[in-house]
Structure 1
Amino acid sequence: MPDFFNTSVGKRRKERKRLKQTDKHVAPAPGSEARQTRRESMRGAKRGSGRLHLPTFDVQDDLTKMEPRARSLSGRRKERQSETRRPPERVWPVGKIWVSWRWVSGILSGGLLLLMIGFFTLDMFYVDTIAIGGVNYLSREEVFRFSDVSQKHIFWVDEEEVEERLESNNNIAAAEVRVGWPPNMVQIVVRERDPALIWEQGDNRVWLDINGLVMFQREDRPDLLRVVYDPNEPVPEELLGAASRVNTEVVHGALLLKARMPGIDVLLYNPKKGLGWRDPRGWMVWFGTGSNMDVKSRVYEAIVNQNFSAVQFGEIDVSDPDYPVYTVLWQKSE
C-alpha cells in the first residue's frame, strides 16, 4: 500500500482521537467503534502473518446501540407533528365578556323545551269556550255541542273537520271555523237554513227548507205555510228521521200555490194525488206536484166559474191540466 495513503489515514485517526479528548460531550456516532476495531484488526493482520483475521462482533449489540438514536428521531418526529396539529391557544381580551355559542344554543333549546311543556300543560290552551256568530234559531250552547271541541287542545282542533261536523247538522247550511290564540282560540260563524214551510205528520211537526230537508222546529212561525200529511194514508216514519228529505217538487209546488192563491194557509198531501186544498165552498181540489201550479190553478178557476152555478162539486182533480176530472154531488134541475 502506498505511503501517502497510510500517512493520510494516520493523520485522520490522530485528529479523531484529539477531538474525542477535547469534546467529551459529543457522543460517538453509532457503529464508529465497531468500524475502528475492524480497521485495527485488518492492519494487525497485514503486519503479521499474511492471513486476514476478521474480528468477531455482535450485530445485535450494534443494533442495540443504534436504537436509542432511532427512537429519539421517531420521538422527535411525533413531537413535531403533535405541535403542528395542536390548535393555537386562544387569547381572550381583557375587559370584554365572551359568550360561547354552545351556551346560546343550550339556552335556546331549554327555552323551547319549557315552551312546549307549557303548551301541553297549561289550561289556557285547552278549549272551554268559543266565539259563535250568525245564530238565529239555534242557541250558542247547541252550536258549541255540535262542534265537539270542548276540552280539546288547540293543536288538535282541525278547522275543516269541525266545519264538516257542523254542516252535517240539518239546521246549519254552512259553517266557518277559525283557530287562533287565547282568549278567543276558536271562532265559529254559522249560516242557518231558513224554514220554507211546516210539515205535519200525525203529532209530529218539523220544518222543511227550500230543498225539502227536514229540520227540527225551533219556534212557532204562523207566517209559514202548513202542509199536513193525509191522515187517511199510512204515514212513513222515515220522513221525519235525521237528515231525511221531502221531494223538492212537493215543496216547490206548495210554495207556488201559496204565491198564486194567498188565501191558502193549510195544504193536504196525498202520496197519489199530490197537494190538495179544501175550498171554503165545500169541495176538495187536488193539484198534484211540480212547478206548473200556475197553469193548474187557472184550469181549476175556469172549471169552477163555468159550472159552479149549476152543480155542487164533490172533488176536483187538476193534477193533469190537460185532462181535469171532477165529481158532482148534485146538480140543479132546469
Structure 2
Amino acid sequence: MGAQAIKYQTTAARPRLSMDPVLKFWQARGVKFSGMLALGLLVWLIYMLFTSSAFFVYGAEIRGNVAVSAREIYTAGQIDSQSIFWISPAEVERNIEALPNIKSASVTVKLPAQVAIDVAERRPQLLWQSGDTIWWVDEEGTVVPPKAEMEDMLKIVDDDRQALEVGYHIDPALIKGAQTLRILAPDVRVVRHARATGLVVATPEGWPVYLGDGTDMKAKLMVLSALLPQLRENERPPVYIDLRDPLQPVYRTLPEIRIDPPPLRQPVPVRPQIAPQYRRNRP
C-alpha cells in the first residue's frame, strides 16, 4: 500500500455577534451621557441667548408722550444695549417715573428684543410765576419744569415770591378755583396770589378783589357782580373788595378828602414911623 497524505483542516468556531454588551453599557452609562449632552446643549443655548445681538435692546416703542421727548424717556429707562433677559419692567418704570413731567409709566417686554413704554404726563393746568421763574402746575398741584411756552394759559403771579422746587405741591383747591375763575371769566389771564389774601383779581377799574383759597369761586363772582354797580355809583372808589367769605363781603372806600380854606388873618395895623429926635448938648 502506498502511503497517503492526510490533510488536516481545522475550522475555528465563529463567535456569535451580540448587542448585549452595548445595551448593558448604554444602560449603565447612557443616562449619564444623555444628561451631559443635554446640559451641554443647554449651556450652548444660554450662551447664544445672552450673547446674540438679536436679544439686545437698541430701541423702544414709546407712546403717550407730548411734552417730554421720546429720547428723554428712552434714556431715563436705562435699557439701551441691555439684554432683554436682564431688563426688569418694574425697575424701568421707576426710572421713567423719576422724570418730573411723567406721572406714570408702564413697560412691557417681548422676545426677541421688543420693549414698549406707555407714559402719562403731568399736563399743565396753569402757570405759576415766582419772581422771574415760571413753573407748570398740574391738576394735582404738582410743580414741574415747563417744557414749552403756553401763552394762552392762566398765570398766577406769586406776590410773596416763595421759592419753589420740582415736585412741590400747591393746594389743589387753589388750582381748581383758578380754573373755575378762568371758565367763568375768560378775559382774566393773570391772577395774583398772596398768602394773606389768597387769589387776587382786578376789576376793569383796577380795584383789587380778594378771592381767598379758591373755594366757592362761583358764589364769590356772583357777589362781585352784584356789588360792582353799587360801587361804581359811589363817589369814593373802594381800596379793595374782600370776598374771601362770600356771605360777608367787605370793602373799604377811600376816605373823603376835605380841603378847608385857609383861615382868614386879621390885618395888622401899621404904625406910622416917627423920625428919631436928637438933642443937642449944651456947651
**TM-score (normalizing by structure 1):** 0.64
Q: Which has the higher helix share?
A: 1
1:140 aligns with 2:70: yes
1:112 aligns with 2:42: yes
The code of the aligned residue for 2:141 comes to G
Deviation at 1:140, TM superposition (A): 0.6
Work out whether residues 84 and 112 of structure 2, in 8 Å CA contact, stay in contact via their aligned partners in 1: no
Larger CA Rg, structure 1 vs 2: 1
The correspondence of residues 205-216 of structure 1 with structure 2, limited to 5 A, is 205-216=134-145
CA deviations over 1:163-209 (Å, ceiling 9, x no partner): 2332333312221101112342x211112121111111111111111
The code of the aligned residue for 1:247 comes to D
Secondary structure, counterpart of 1:287 in structure 2 = strand
Secondary structure, counterpart of 1:254 in structure 2 = helix
Change (3 A) 1:127 1:89: closer
1:179 aligns with 2:109: yes
Deviation at 1:91, TM superposition (A): 7.8
In structure 2, distance between residues paired with 1:216 and 1:148: 22
Change (3 A) 1:258 1:293: same
The correspondence of residues 149-164 of structure 1 with structure 2, limited to 5 A, is 149-164=79-94
Alignment partner for residue 156 of structure 2, among 227, 236, 239?
Answer: 227
In structure 2, distance between residues paired with 1:116 and 1:149: 20
Deviation at 1:305, TM superposition (A): 1.6
In structure 2, distance between residues paired with 1:105 and 1:194: 58
Gaps of 5+ in 1: 1-87, 94-99
Change (3 A) 1:174 1:281: same
The code of the aligned residue for 1:199 comes to W
Residue number in structure 2 paired with 1:9 = none
Residue number in structure 2 paired with 1:326 = 251
Work out whether residues 137 and 144 of structure 2, in 8 Å CA contact, stay in contact via their aligned partners in 1: yes
Change (3 A) 1:330 1:302: farther
In structure 1, distance between residues paired with 2:99 and 2:254: 49
Deviation at 1:105, TM superposition (A): 4.0
In structure 2, distance between residues paired with 1:227 and 1:203: 13
In structure 1, distance between residues paired with 2:248 and 2:256: 22
Residue number in structure 2 paired with 1:313 = 238
Q: What percent of counterpart residues are identical? A: 29
The code of the aligned residue for 1:324 comes to P
Deviation at 1:282, TM superposition (A): 2.0
In structure 2, distance between residues paired with 1:150 and 1:89: 57
The correspondence of residues 234-249 of structure 1 with structure 2, limited to 5 A, is 235-237=161-163, 239=164, 241-249=165-173
Secondary structure, counterpart of 1:118 in structure 2 = helix
In structure 2, distance between residues paired with 1:151 and 1:91: 54
Residue number in structure 1 paired with 2:100 = 170
Change (3 A) 1:204 1:281: same
Secondary structure, counterpart of 2:233 in structure 1 = coil
CA RMSD of aligned residues (A): 2.5
Gaps of 5+ in 2: 1-17, 24-29, 259-283
CA deviations over 1:27-65 (Å, ceiling 9, x no partner): xxxxxxxxxxxxxxxxxxxxxxxxxxxxxxxxxxxxxxx
Change (3 A) 1:119 1:89: closer
In structure 2, distance between residues paired with 1:247 and 1:168: 22
